[in-house]
């Protein structure tokens, strides 16, 4: 039998992101993941979970100037995900509570997953 669960998705604007995250936190939802797909633009998906149900919020950023407000005020645990976004994708995150400024991941190539460096891997 198929076990496929319902996964609702809501697309919001960058400006209302922190407010929506604050609402989810006061309702009792836990932050579980922040996913980024970097192709023609940056698509960020924030996943929350409560009582075994999952809920997703999506924000779309333009390719040339990716700036994002941080949600570490309602969710302090988001600092690991947002530092990873800075180090791997080159997205600038403002008002981070614990900012490592690019030293969280020790990499030899800067921002390896950013769209410009994508191409067929030899």
Partner 1 sequence: MATRTIVPFGPQHPVLPEPIHLDLVLEDEKVVEAIPSIGFIHRGLEKLVEKKDFYEMTYVAERICGICSFIHGQSYCQAIEGVMKIDVPERALYLRTIWGEMSRIHSHLLWLGLFADAFGFESLFMHSWRVREKLLDIIEETTGGRVIFGSCKIGGVRRDIDALGLKRVESELRIIEKQSFELTEVFKKDNSVKRRTIDVGMLSKEEAISLGAVGPMLRASGVSYDSRKLGYAAYSKLNWEPIVETAGDCYARCMVRCRELYQSFDLIYQAISKIAEGPIDVKVTGNPTGEYFARVEQPRGEVIYYVKGNGSKNLERFRVRTPTFANVPPLVKTLAGCELADVPVIVLTIDPCISCTER
Q: Give 25's DSSP letter.
A: H
Question: Considering the complex, what minimum distance in angstroms separates the CB of residue 7 from partner 1?
Answer: 6
Residue 100 interacts with partner 1 (CB under 8 A)?
yes
Which one of 11, 19, 30, 102 is in contact with partner 1 (CB under 8 A)?
A: 30
Can you tell me whether residue 44 is helix, strand or coil?
Answer: strand
Question: Considering the complex, what minimum distance in angstroms separates the CB of residue 63 from partner 1?
Answer: 16
Residue 23 interacts with partner 1 (CB under 8 A)?
no
Residue 77 interacts with partner 1 (CB under 8 A)?
yes
Which one of 10, 11, 33, 60 is in contact with partner 1 (CB under 8 A)?
A: 33
Query: How far, in Å, CA of 61 to CA of 53, rounded?
Result: 27
Backbone angles phi, psi at 74, to 5 degrees: -75, -35
Query: How far, in Å, CA of 88 to CA of 113, rounded?
Result: 6
Which one of 61, 79, 89, 96 is in contact with partner 1 (CB under 8 A)?
A: 79
Backbone angles phi, psi at 76, to 5 degrees: -65, -30
Region of 105 on the Ramachandran plot (φ > 0 left; ψ -120 to 50 alpha; else beta)? beta
Residues at the contact surface with partner 1, assessed by CB under 8 A: 1-5, 7, 30-33, 35-37, 39, 45, 47, 52, 54, 56, 75-77, 79-80, 87, 100, 103-107, 112-113, 118, 120-121
């Amino acid at each position: 039998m198929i076990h496929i669960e319902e996964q609702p998705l809501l697309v919001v604007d960058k400006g209302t992101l922190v407010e929506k995250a604050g609402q989810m936190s006061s309702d009792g939802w836990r932050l579980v993941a922040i996913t980024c797909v970097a192709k023609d633009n940056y698509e960020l998906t924030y996943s929350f979970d409560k009582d075994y149900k999952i809920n997703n919020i999506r924000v779309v950023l333009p390719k040339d100037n990716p700036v994002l407000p941080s949600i570490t005020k309602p969710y302090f645990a988001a600092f690991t995900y947002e530092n990873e976004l800075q180090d791997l994708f080159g997205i600038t995150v403002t008002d981070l509570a614990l900012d490592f400024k690019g030293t969280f991941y020790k990499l030899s190539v800067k921002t390896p997953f950013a769209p410009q460096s994508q191409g067929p891997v030899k």
